[in-house]
Structure 1
Amino acid sequence: MNLASNLERWAAQRPSHPVVVFEGRRVSYAELDAAASRLAHALRAHGVVAGDRVALFLPNIPEYLVAWYAAQKLGAITVSINAIFRTAEVEYLLVDSGSKVVFTVGELAQFVPRERCPALGHLVVCEGEAPAGAATLAQWSEGRDTQLTGVDCAADAPASLLYSSGTTGFPKGVTLTQSNIATNIATAAACSGYRSDDRLAAFLPLFHVYGQNYIMNAAVLAGATLVLFRRFVPDQVLEAIGRERVTMFFGVPTIFIGLLSMDLSKYDLSSIRYEMSAAATMPEEISRRWTERFGRRVYEGYGLTECSPFACYNDLVEHRFGSVGRAVEGFELAIFDEADREVPRGQWGEIVIRGPGVMKGYWNRPQDTAQALRGGWLHSGDIGRMDDDGYVFIVDRVKDMINVSGFKVWPAEVEQYLYKLPQVQEVAVYGAPHPEKGEQVVVAVVPKPGQSITGGTVIDYCRANIAAYKVPARV
């Protein structure tokens, strides 16, 4: 198997159909496959073989797809690097992964410390000027053959490294296999109902597992079109939705919160048929407001980089506000206590996951892998509960818990209540040291435009609605 086969199939069946629309450019499936093939030939000529690591230190540009699929055609392992990282962070990922090639853009090339990355042989610039000693993508690709069928890879062969900090320490390379990604994107496309005539707004970063697998790779599997943006700039994205007739909108909770505070009447959003939120917990109140305003629910998904990422969906049959849904096909979720025993339904504990998307392990970290996958379950580090019908409700991250005199306070729970205040646009609850209690609850509030709210109002509201130990000490 080979993940590039999805691109190759659509290049043969619908060669002129656009796969990417970006800043006035339209790239067809045939053009993308030809560009990826040329680059794959170049990679092979420069010594890259199956199993080698190829790093992508790139923003959201079409060349991201070219480099990703070129590496996949050879059975190489793509290494995704956050485009806002700087020298020390980039060095750590390149050295840890042993990447042989890094693709980047001119403005980011300065943050690649080639002299301190022993395995790194080549720096290739995909946009902008190349520094001394580097090549451009055009130079590498020029004159190469436009045909290269992906090599046959084993189902458990590593395909992608996406770095996750998890709950502790330096980032760890989450090793996702061919099968992990192939099965997960198929489930994603089925749950979200992707069609080949769909146009997906793709402004979430492609270096992140949500953007890379749930959006980019699942769209290519379905033969759909990515309307690609470098980042989320509201006016640019909203205007493009009407111009390009975007049908599917993927965001994170902060984006939906921001849009709810805007006057959207001047934008043509009539083409959108589907919205989804993931990567962070959607406050129940925000989800309800969106549905009341637009008449459509925001679908929600849950998972981790370590499970490719999709494990839970709300929902193909019955949507429940406040939940991230039920396990998707092939996955199981359970709630464990601190001794790794399953707790009764309705009680909170750590969410654990098993299924076809769960990672092969952490790159070169057998002890961390054994700890995360102990007992045959992926331990998420997220605290949640499950109702009698299997719907999962996120409480918070283990590491985010605030310990107030021995009482556990979960920030997300307090935030859910605060979002009910009509003046509140955004809120963040966190812990601060306290000499006697250990920690105390602190709240930061952003009021809606044109409104104001005092700290006293927030504290009084909390005193009337939640237990005393959860009430913020200051705002």
Structure 2
Amino acid sequence: MSAVGDHHLALLAEQAYERHGDYESLFFEGRWLTSREIHDRSARAATGLRSHGVRPGDRVVVLMTNAPEVFISYRAIWRAGAVVTPVIFLQSVPELRHILTDSGAVAAIISPELADLFAAAAEGLSITTFVTGYSVPKGLVSFEDLEAGEPAGIEPRADDDLAALLYTGGTTGRAKGVMLSHRGLWEAGRGLELASRTSAATRSLLPLPLSHAYGLIVTIAGLHSQRRLVSVLQRWFDPAGWLELVAEHRLESSPVVPTMLQMLLAQPPGDHDLSSLQTFGSGGATLPPAIRSAAEKVFGVTVLQGYGCTESSAVISAESLSEHRPGSVGKPLAHAEVEIRDAAGLSLPAGEDGEICVRGPGVMLGYWNDPEQTSRTVRDGWLHTGDIGHLDEDGYLFVVDRLKDLIIRGGFNVFPRDVEDVLLEHPAVQVAACVGRPDAENGEEVVAVVQLQPGQQVSGAALVEFTRERLARYKYPREVTVLDAVPLTSVGKINRKAVRDLLSTRE
């Protein structure tokens, strides 16, 4: 049997509790939970998982809206030596069934409102299912029963054993399982926490889905903190509720994705006192400069960007209050070595754009059941992210765009982000997405869709003219379509595949 590794995530949680002791650490929907309650409940839930046959290395799906039981479940699963397999609740039945069958999950912990979805996806599968709340459907086990036993110790696991299996969004095909180790997540969380130490903020609002890599790494970073952190959790992001919670609890920071910032900017602050707010941490997608500038002006805060992907244990670089530069996503964190490489795999000098490649303990163990895709993505220990960017002379990382989203019009490279940033400078535009459309003359044509600010009106033709005056002739979109809502992924990123599909049906 392997020993409890120094980077075991259950040990990290245990050490955090021993370091800080018992205090009110988490607020959710009208109730405070103490650090002791979370610790004890997770230790008891680990016993429950073992008694229901969950063994070290088994995958346990967590399909929940944000709730304290997500924190408890993650720690319990790691304590039992099993593998956290988080699933964002905005899934279709076929998508969820693929994850259940592909992962070989033996158990699942679900929210009651997702019981019907789960039942349809898991039909015919042998998965022990635990459900939170008071109304437990027939055949399922209540989370209360899961916590009924005596606290369990930590099941030994090695540092490089599998800790989490996260499925990518699948916007370009079937979702792939990304294998992340205890050490990888431990190191990535520590790197993010070290970057955050320049801020004095200890009270934060968590609107991110905890089932996403970004939300997961924020919680792990918190376990590394040398300070007592207080978190207020939203079940799901709600701009009006966000404002109320910040004002009520005098919160100082909040990790968000760019579309959340856009929605907050569209939400009138009213009489809410937001003077306690100091920083936003922005990740999950590239932050348009216009949105960053507006957020800093409206909320009187500093917006700190970070960058990473699921395959890198969620984070590669991040800004801090002592080291931040407009337009950058910060410097690579302590656990990540970054190189910019050309198409031939050669390292490029500062200032030149190429593919962002990263090496270090945070790099995934591989794709679950897919050695061929693993070998294409991780070569000689280097993760090829598929993102285009550059490092400046001082080591700050700048992300330009996704390699697969690059538009080649008449032999010229067009980065969608360049077009989107200009569209977002128009006061009527709230969200913008740019894609390439097949074109007989130019190979690809630059087209875009936008979602307008509430109460605003502008024509697509006027927006074409607006960009034509601000972009090179080969870059500006020849067509801009105004939509009621620009398609987003389940975590708030622009879903460019859905945009392409939508525009193809309008031809």
Query: Could you tell me the TM-score, scaled by structure 2's length?
Result: 0.88
Q: Pick from 322, 337, 362 the counterpart of residue 327 of structure 2.
A: 322
Q: 1:219 aligns with which of 209, 216, 222?
A: 222
Does residue 242 of structure 2 align to residue 234 of structure 1? no
Secondary structure of 1:56 counterpart = strand
Going from structure 1 to structure 2, the CA distance change for 1:106 and 1:293 (only over 3 Å counts) comes to closer
Q: Which whole-Å CA distance do the structure 1 matches of 2:455 and 2:39 have between them? A: 50
Q: Distance in 2 between matches of 1:194 and 1:409?
A: 37
Does structure 1 conserve the Cα–Cα contact (< 8 Å) formed by 2:400 and 2:417? yes
* % identical aligned pairs: 36
Gap change, CA 1:167 and 1:327, over 3 Å in 2 = farther
1:283 Cα deviation (Å)?
0.7
Corresponding position: 1:64 with 2:67: no
CA distance in 1, matches of 2:95, 2:355: 30
- On the 8 A contact 2:62/2:84 being kept in 1, the answer is yes
Q: How has the CA–CA distance of structure 1 residues 339 and 10 changed in structure 2, closer, same or farther, with 3 Å as cutoff?
A: closer
> Equivalents in 1 of 2:451, 2:97: separation in Å?
36
Provide the C-alpha distance between the structure 2 equivalents of 1:166 and 1:345, rounded to a whole number of angstroms.
Answer: 33
Alpha-carbon offset, residue 316 of structure 1:
5.0
What is the SS of the residue equivalent to 2:479? coil
In structure 2, C-alpha distance between the alignment counterparts of 1:462 and 1:14, rounded to whole Å: 53
**TM alignment of 1:259-270, pairs within 5 A:** 259-270=264-275
Which residue type is aligned with residue 219 of structure 1?
Answer: G
Deviation at 1:459, TM superposition (A): 1.9
1:7 matched residue in structure 2: 13
Question: Equivalents in 2 of 1:194, 1:179: separation in Å?
Answer: 24
Residue matched to 1:203: 207
Q: Alignment length, in residue pairs?
A: 470
Which residue of the partner structure matches residue 457 of structure 1? 462
Look up the equivalent residue of 1:186 and give its one-letter code.
Answer: R
- Paired residue type of 2:42: A
Corresponding residue number in structure 1 for 2:139: 133
Map of 2:444 onto structure 1:
439
Alignment of 1:270-281 (within 5 A): 270-281=275-286
Following superposition of structure 1 onto structure 2, how do residues 374-453 of structure 1 map, counting pairs within 5 Å?
374-453=379-458
Structure 1's unaligned 5+ residue stretches are none
Equivalent in 347, 354, 360 of residue 349 of structure 1 = 354
How far has the Cα of 1:165 moved from its partner?
A: 4.6
Match of 1:43 in 2: 49
Q: 1:318 and 1:121 mapped to 2: Cα distance?
A: 47
1:371 to 372, 376, 384: 376
Task: Please tell me the residue identity of whatever aligns with 1:114.
Answer: A
Farther off after superposition, 120-129 or 60-69: 120-129
Of 205-214 and 359-368, deviating more is 359-368
Does structure 2 retain, via aligned residues, the 8 Å contact 1:15–1:28? Answer: no
- Equivalent position of 1:78 in the other structure: 84
Q: What is the aligned counterpart of 1:299 among 284, 296, 304?
A: 304
Q: Distance in 1 between matches of 2:234 and 2:399?
A: 30
Kindly indicate whether the alpha-carbon contact (under 8 Å) linking 2:316 and 2:336 is maintained by their aligned counterparts in 1: yes
Separation of aligned partners in 1, 2:109 and 2:458: 47
Q: CA separation of 1:469/1:197 partners in 2, compared to 1, >3 Å: closer, same or farther?
A: closer
Structure 1 runs of 4+ aligned residues shifted over 6 Å read: 194-197
Ranges in structure 2 where 5+ consecutive residues have no aligned partner: 481-507
Aligned: 1:313 with 2:313? no
SS at match of 1:170: coil
- In the alignment, the residues of structure 1 paired with residue 214 and residue 368 of structure 2 have an alpha-carbon distance, to the nearest angstrom, of 20
Question: CA-to-partner distance for each residue in 1:281-308, whole Å, 9 max, x for gaps?
Answer: 0111222233334443200000111111
**Does structure 2 retain, via aligned residues, the 8 Å contact 1:335–1:352?**
yes
Tell me by how many angstroms 1:344 deviates.
3.1
The answer to whether the 8 A contact 2:319-2:331 is kept is: yes
Question: Is contact 2:198-2:320 (8 Å) kept?
Answer: no
Q: Deviations over 1:60-98 (max 9, x none)?
A: 011111111111101111101111112211111111111
1:249-294 Cα shifts (integer Å, max 9, x gaps): 1111112122233332511212222211000001112222333344
CA contact (8 A) 2:188 2:335 kept: no
Cα shift readout 1:138-164 (whole Å, capped 9, x = no counterpart)? 12322x11x323223211111111111
Residues 200 and 409 of structure 1, relative CA distance in 2, 3 Å threshold: same
Separation (CA, whole Å) in 2 of partners of 1:5 and 1:196: 26
C-alpha distance 402-251 of structure 1, shift in aligned 2 (>3 A):
same
Secondary structure of the residue aligned to 1:408 is strand
Counterpart check, 1:24 vs 2:30: yes
- Provide the C-alpha distance between the structure 1 equivalents of 2:265 and 2:185, rounded to a whole number of angstroms: 33
Give the whole-Å Cα distance in 2 for the aligned partners of 1:369 and 1:13.
39
Which amino acid is 2:72 matched to? V
- How far did 1:168 drift? 4.7
Alpha carbons of 1:244 and 1:236: their partners in 2 closer, same or farther (altered >3 Å)?
same
Change (3 A) 1:366 1:253: same
- Could you tell which deviates more after superposition, 454-463 or 94-103? 454-463
- Report the CA distance shift for 1:140/1:450 in structure 2 as closer, same or farther (over 3 A): closer
Summarize deviations over 1:161-199 as a string: whole Å, max 9, x none: 111157853211111111111111111112112999822
Counterpart contact for 1:196–1:225, Cα < 8 Å: no
Q: Is the 8 A contact 1:281 1:394 kept in 2?
A: yes
Partner SS state of residue 205, structure 1:
coil
Q: Is the 8 A contact 1:7 1:29 kept in 2?
A: no
Q: TM-score, normalised by structure 1?
A: 0.93
1:32 CA drift (Å): 1.0
The 3 A distance-change label for structure 1 pair 316 and 196 is: closer
Q: Does 1:183 align with 2:183?
A: no
Aligned CA distance change for structure 1 residues 196 and 221 (closer, same or farther; 3 Å) = farther
Partner of 1:288: 293
Q: Distance in 1 between matches of 2:326 and 2:333?
A: 18
Q: Partners in 2 of 1:166 and 1:407 — Cα distance?
A: 29
Aligned to 1:169: 173
SS of the counterpart of 1:444? strand
Computed over aligned residues only, the root mean square deviation of the Cα atoms, in angstroms, reads 2.1
Aligned equivalents of 2:391 and 2:280: distance in 1? Answer: 24
